[in-house]
Amino acid sequence: MTNPADAGHNVVLAVPHPAPLNPRGITITCTMCEAARDWLLIHVRPDLVFVRCRCTHEWREHDLGAANGTVARGADGDEREWETFEQMYRGLGFDGLLAGTVWNLS
């Protein structure tokens, strides 16, 4: 599985994660735009976590598995279901329109 959309209805959580992630003491960065924060974490049963960047680049992050379930769920447990990935990405601002906004703020 290389794309969270392949999981279909098995997707259980999609949680915005504004802070940096450093599961092994190394901060995760986007290989496409070099962003280092402001992720969307997509948690797929049973133990897959994908990271999606504002630039729409997404990848499976092996270091964020079940052991980091609390990270994937987010601090406030704010959960919401979406009909499609496209709606989810658009609703959460991860459809590419906000790509690069991280740098405009700094």
What is the C-alpha separation between 65 and 49, in angstroms, rounded?
A: 6
Confirm if 100 and 55 have CB atoms less than 8 A apart: yes
**To the nearest whole angstrom, how small is the minimum distance from the Cβ of residue 89 to Zn ion?**
13
- Exactly one of 28, 48, 55, 88 binds Zn ion (CB under 5 A); that residue is 55
**To the nearest whole angstrom, how small is the minimum distance from the Cβ of residue 39 to Zn ion?**
9
- 34 vs 79, beta carbon nearer Zn ion: 34
- Exactly one of 30, 40, 41, 64 binds Zn ion (CB under 5 A); that residue is 30
Q: Is the peptide bond before 46 cis (omega within 30 degrees of 0)?
A: yes
